[in-house]
Chains A and B, each alone.
Chain A
Amino acid sequence: MSLPLIELKNIEKSYDGNLILDDLNLSVKENSFVTLLGPSGCGKTTTLRIIGGFETPDKGSVLFNGQDITSMPANRRPLNTVFQKYALFTHMSIAENIAFGLRIRKKPQSYIDDKIRYALKLVNLEGFENRSVDSLSGGQQQRIAIARAIVNEPKLLLLDEPLGALDLKLRQDMQYELIRLKNELGITFIYVTHDQEEALTMSDTIVVMNKGYIQQMGTPEQIYNEPENAFVADFIGESNIVDGIMLRDELVEIFGAKFVCVDKGFGVNKPVDVVIRPEDIDLVKPEDGTLCGVVTHLIFKGVHYEMEVTTPDGFEWLVHSTDMFPVGQKVGIHVDPFDIQIMNKPESEDEEAAGVNE
């Protein structure tokens, strides 16, 4: 197996006594698209800035191709960053912006000219050389920021919420654009976002972070379908997270009703968290359901209906379905065994933050 391109080992970082990153370990393989996902303050941006060289970790080391770069200043690192607010140099033309890194490296003018043309073509902004930064839209500025970074042919591109300032439509266009760029250039992307949809759409690997810990790392499918704890389940998509008791392998009791599932190894009569996605709940006739409830809310969402079903114990189940059940109707709840995700209950808050996979 080849060495990881970038590796973080036992990284610890705190500001003013607040621990931001606690014993963080992460390794990123060459040519992958890794997304650091989490709510604000989870430490994802700090992680990126440590890789970029803008922050120094209190403890731990950063390895690049096996070489320790922990104390290497930002300007010597063989990687480039695309900043959240583009950080273009407003007193320079577009061409000068793109040429900045190349000029620092004292590349010949003809090389620089070729690179500018190539980069502008790559980001679909041919002919923009002499425009001023202020005359560009947000999306165009973002493309220039990317062009400015990639002309330096970095092995690794760090992107810090690059689409955060764009509107929804533009954001979706840029998502495809980024994927295309990554595939054309063949470089490794580490991408920071708090937008779970963006993460699911673009990444090979998602790293879900919370309170300075990695909660779960995996493919988008793994993260979505098999969240390892309540935080991940809650953060990725919408979920029903309920208390359950694992009666034995493959059988869990929720609100007194017994559901067949596919999970094993939790022991006998063990309290657990149970995650069921809203779209995985089938509403059936009351007599066919494992649990019974009444529809208390109904909203048409376009692709589907969003309903709330309240069961006698008072829990409101979120249900997505293309079938409509009017408010007040009694319904039965059915869930297929493989749609039930069982998780250990955290024993303390620390453990909740740290996640159960460690």
Chain B
Amino acid sequence: MKKTRFRKFLEDFYLVLTLLFLYAPIVVMMVLSFNGSKSRSQWGGFTFEWYRHMFESASIVEALYNTLLIAFLSALIATVLGTAAALGIGSMKKVTKSVYMGVNNIPMLNSDIVTGISLMLMFIAFGVSLGFKTILLAHISFNVPYVLLSVMPKLKQTSRSTYEAALDLGAEPVTAFFKVVFPDIMPGVLSGFLMAFTMSLDDFIITHFTRGAGINTLSTLIYSEVRRGIRPTMYALSTVIFVTVLTLLLIANFSPAKHPSRSDGGAGAALTRKAPGGNSFQRFVLIAAAFLVVAGVSGVTWQHLTASASDELYVYNWGEYIDESVIDRFTEETGIQVTYDLFETNEEMYPVIEAGAVRYDVVCPSDYMIQRMAENELLAEINFDNVPNIANIGPEYMEWSRAFDPDNLYSVPYTWGTVGIIYNTKRIEELGVPAPTKWADLWDERYAGEILMQDSVRDAFTVALKRLGYSLNSTDPAELREAADLLLAQKPLVQAYVVDQVRDKMLNGEAAVGVIYSGELLYLREEAEALGLDYELEYVVPEEGTNIWIDSWVIPYNARNKENAEKWINFLCRPDIAKKNFEYITYATPNFAARWILDEDQRRDPDVFPDLTQMTNSEVYRYLGTEAEDRYNELWKEIKAQ
């Protein structure tokens, strides 16, 4: 008796544990979506702010619309194609049937990345410009196998004689199919549709490769924010998606089932077992479907109608790297329709421009990447006659730009910043260590377990190379070896190698010092104030010198609307616009006219706007070539592996 009770307890415990593992992450995300603070571990009070922000953001609403439209259309078309295919394959002979089903299974087992790349190559090879329709086609193609797999078992259950019986009773073949066969396979068709819908909703990789300029789905949009850290708005969005999918599943599983006695095998069994057969449910689905189709078609037509060739501009920028109202204002003032697209890393942007599959008119890469693009003749010279506002850019930034654009031919600086050390004043006091002033302090053993390093090759090596007094663009194997050894020696002291978690960890007081981009400072200060921390976070640019990074606007060699691109750059150089963007992005602006109209204490903030003329030992990243890159990566791997 006692034993069974204990056993029961263990069973329940195991179940709860399993559920916890499965759902805890989602619960955390949902809770954070209501967090008043942007921090991931501090509760800043309950708020609907992020939900409000989500629905106010044009890019999110548009991505949501694209996602739903693509999911719906691709699922619908795939359902029609897949069902037709199932009927065809179902009446084949056994051997042919298994061959076809095998062929059907291959795309499902194939890795998404292969499917995505091959679809992209095919579209480019056949001259189909990447965009909404290519995503749709790609989604249809990967959805069909799922529909087929879900309809086949239902079809197998359905006896052919009911179809013949209907013919026998005088029905024409089409009538017989829709009145007799279709209702029988309906649960399979419906679950196939739902499965296709969710697969499409879910997809990132294939969408990523087949999308073109100006098209984002939720997954690609969320991913594009990785560089700057994912905003809580995205938690809100993910929560909404999760709840939607959950509701769909609940409807599908609990709606009145007409054939509860029938079980069924094969894929989609969980969905089809309690098949939605209720009339009201079917009606609901039909109405929802009709609504979405109408909305979709009108939306697409609108998009096509409003986009005409001469007054358009294709912009390719980092995620979260512009105040969206600025884009609207540009269109208002110039009449130019902006197709705005996001990338996550320089390395991701480069092949897109190089392949020329999507022709962007204006792009915002970082320093060393601009050099690489210029060296590979991917950039067009800017006609500065069309960019009179270049006068607003501080001459020192143009001077620094020469590191990667020697003759100032190709680029106009947009944002810039430094890499430095952030420290927790209270914490270092407790440790009894003086405030850090130089990179070498990061080797101070009193900081053991309190150091956060950047998890990126160049940034990590910058710390060591600069400490050694070498150039951060060094390609000398001996110098690099030395730097690597130094990093290895530091490793035991390091708490973690992280990217954007530095700010969260610092806000939580988890570490004393961290390597951070100066662009994060304004945000950190705001948050620290909002949370009412009992300690201060200070920033210092190390004495040995650091990396100065500059993100600049460039025009690709194959831009179709070069003059519009120049208008765009000129517009962004306007003081009021640059100020707006600075306030949104919080990364330092090179626009001195804009800086002049900022608040007094922001304008004079030495951390955000350090005096570049004093930073003679600092450097801009240069493109080092593949050989040197490989060497860096080799050494970095060695450091990370130990």
A183 within 8 A of B: no
Do the beta carbons of A104 and B169 come within 8 Å of each other?
yes
Interface centre among B164, B173, B176, B179, by most A CB within 10 Å?
B164
- The smallest C-beta distance from B625 to any residue of chain A, in angstroms, reads 66
**Considering residues A100, A148, A149, which has the most beta carbons from chain B within 10 angstroms of its beta carbon?**
A100
Q: Are A148 and B169 in contact (CB under 8 A)?
A: yes
- Asked whether B183 lies within 8 Å of A91 as measured between CB atoms, the reply is yes
B159 & A80 in contact (Cβ 8 Å cutoff): no
Q: Which residues of A contact B172 (CB under 8 A)?
A: 75
| Chain A residues in 8 Å Cβ range of B164 | 52, 54, 74, 81, 83, 87
Per-residue interface assignment for chain A, residues 72 to 110, with 1 indicating a CB less than 8 Å from any chain B CB and 0 otherwise: 011110001101110111110000000011001100000
Asked if A134 lies at the interface with its beta carbon under 8 angstroms from chain B, I say yes
Closest to B170 in A: A104
Which residue from B167, B170, B180, B277 sits with its C-beta under 8 Å from A152? B170
Taking CB atoms, residues of chain B closer than 8 Å to A76 are 170
In the complex formed, the residue of B with least CB distance to A76 is B170
A105 to B184, CA, bound (A): 23
State whether B183 touches A81 (Cβ < 8 A): no
A residues less than 8 Å from B176 (CB atoms): 75
CA of A53 to CA of B165, assembled, Å: 11
A134 to B184, CA, bound (A): 14
24 pairs, CB–CB < 8 Å, chain A vs chain B? A53-B167, A54-B164, A75-B169, A75-B170, A75-B171, A75-B172, A80-B168, A83-B161, A84-B161, A85-B159, A85-B161, A87-B164, A88-B162, A88-B165, A89-B165, A91-B184, A100-B179, A104-B169, A104-B170, A134-B259, A134-B261, A149-B168, A152-B169, A152-B170
Which among B161, B172, B183, B258 has the highest number of chain A CB atoms within 10 Å? B161
In the complex, B166 has a CB within 8 A of chain A: yes
Assess whether B170 is in contact with A87, with CB atoms less than 8 Å apart: no
> How far, in whole Å, are A74 and B171 apart by their CA atoms in the complex?
9
Whether B96 sits at the interface, judged by CB under 8 Å, is no
Give the residue of A73, A80, A91 whose beta carbon is less than 8 angstroms from that of B169.
A80
Confirm or deny: B175 has a beta carbon within 8 angstroms of a beta carbon on chain A.
yes
Q: Which residues of B contact A (CB under 8 A)?
A: 159, 161-162, 164-173, 175-176, 179-180, 183-184, 258-259, 261, 277
Which residues of A are found within 8 Å of B277, using beta-carbon distances?
A: 91
Shortest Cβ distance from residue A80 to the other chain B in the assembled complex, whole angstroms: 6
Q: Which residue of B166, B173, B183, B184 contacts A100 across the interface (Cβ within 8 Å)?
A: B166
Q: How far is the CA of A10 from the CA of B180 in the complex (A)?
A: 35
Q: Which residue of A lies closest to B183 (CB)?
A: A91
Contacting residues of chain A (117-144) with chain B, CB-CB under 8 angstroms: 134
What chain B residues lie within 8 Å of A149 (beta carbons)?
Answer: 168-169
Q: With A90-B184, A134-B259 in contact, is A83–B169 under 8 Å at CB?
A: no
Interface contact tally, CB-CB below 8 A: 68
Say yes or no: A74 contacts B168, CB within 8 Å.
Answer: yes
A74-B167, A81-B164, A134-B259 given; 6 more Cβ-contact pairs under 8 Å: A74-B164, A80-B168, A87-B162, A89-B165, A105-B170, A152-B170
Contact with A73, one of B159, B166, B167, B175 (Cβ below 8 angstroms): B167
Residues of B within 8 A of A134 (CB): 259, 261
Given A104-B175, A134-B259, verify A87-B161 contact (CB < 8 Å). Answer: yes
- Given the interface contacts A90-B184, A91-B184, does A100 sit within 8 Å of B169 by beta carbon? yes
Nearest-Cβ distance from residue A184 to partner chain B, whole angstroms: 21
Residues of chain A within 8 A of B171, CB atoms compared: 75, 100, 104
A101/B159 in contact, CB under 8 A: no
Q: How far is the CB of A87 from chain B (nearest CB, A)?
A: 4
Nearest neighbor of A105 in chain B, beta-carbon distance? B170
On whether the beta carbons of A75 and B167 are closer than 8 Å, the reply is yes
B173 proximity list for chain A (CB < 8 A):
73, 75
Of the candidates B169, B175, B259, the one whose C-beta lies within 8 Å of that of A90 is B259
Which residues of chain A have C-beta atoms less than 8 A from B170's C-beta?
Answer: 75-76, 101, 104-105, 152
In the bound complex, how far is the Cα of B159 from the Cα of A101, in angstroms?
19
B165 touches which of A73, A83, A105 (Cβ 8 Å): A83
Please, which residues of chain A bring their CB within 8 A of the CB of B162? 87-89
Q: What's the minimum C-beta distance from A6 to chain B, rounded to whole angstroms? A: 15
CA distance A200 to B390 in the complex (A): 105
Question: How many Å lie between the Cα of A100 and that of B171 in the bound state?
Answer: 9
Min C-beta distance of B190 to chain A, whole Å: 13
- Residues of A with C-beta under 8 A to B167: 53-54, 73-75
Interface-central residue, A81, A84, A89, A101, by most chain B CB under 10 Å:
A89
Interface pairs A-B: 10 shortest CB-CB:
A101-B169, A87-B161, A87-B165, A91-B183, A74-B167, A104-B170, A83-B161, A75-B167, A81-B168, A87-B162
**In chain B, what residue has the closest Cβ to A74?**
B167
Minimum distance in angstroms from A81 CB to a CB of chain B: 5
Chain A 178-208 per-residue mask, 1 if CB under 8 angstroms from chain B, else 0: 0000000000000000000000000000000
Chain B residues within an 8 Å CB radius of A87 = 159, 161-162, 164-165
CB within 8 Å for A75 and B168 given contacts A91-B184, A91-B258, A134-B261:
yes
**Cα A85 to Cα B277 with chains together (Å):** 24
B93, closest chain A residue (CB): A16
What 1/0 flags go to A144-176 for Cβ under 8 Å of B?
Answer: 000011001000000000000000000000000
A89/B180 in contact, CB under 8 A: yes
Residues of B contacting A73 with CB < 8 Å? 167, 173
Least CB distance, B82 to chain A, in whole angstroms: 21
- In angstroms, how far is the closest chain A Cβ from the Cβ of B192? 18
Cβ-closest chain A residue relative to B166: A100
Pair B168/A52 contact, Cβ less than 8 Å:
yes
Which B residues are CB-close (under 8 A) to A100? 166, 169, 171, 179
Name which residue of chain A comes closest to B182, CB basis.
Answer: A91
Which residues of chain B are near A148, meaning CB under 8 Å? 165, 169
Complex CA distance for A80 and B170, rounded to whole angstroms: 9
Q: Which residues from B are CB-within-8-Å of A88?
A: 162, 165
Q: How far is the CA of A183 from the CA of B176 in the complex (A)?
A: 31
Residues from chain B with a CB closer than 8 A to the CB of A104 are 169-171, 175
CB distance from B156 to the nearest CB of A (A): 15
CA gap between A224 and B572 in the complex, in Å: 103
Minimum CB–CB distance from A340 to chain B (whole Å) comes to: 45
Report A69 CB to chain B, min CB distance, Å: 14
The distance from the CB of A207 to the nearest CB of chain B, in whole angstroms, is 22
**Closest residue of chain A to B165, judged by CB?**
A87
Determine the chain B residues whose CB is within 8 A of the CB of A83 once the complex forms: 161, 164-165
- The chain B residue sitting closest to A154, CB to CB, is B168
Instruction: Give bound CA distance, A84 to B171, whole Å.
Output: 20
Residues of B within 8 A of A54 (CB): 164, 167
Residue of A nearest to B158 (CB): A90
Report how far A296 CA is from B392 CA in the complex, Å: 121
**C-alpha spacing A26/B148, complex, angstroms:** 43
Closest A-chain residue to B161, C-beta based? A87
Q: Shortest CB–CB separation between residue B17 and chain A, in angstroms?
A: 40
Q: Which of B173, B180, B184 has the most CB of A within 10 A?
A: B180
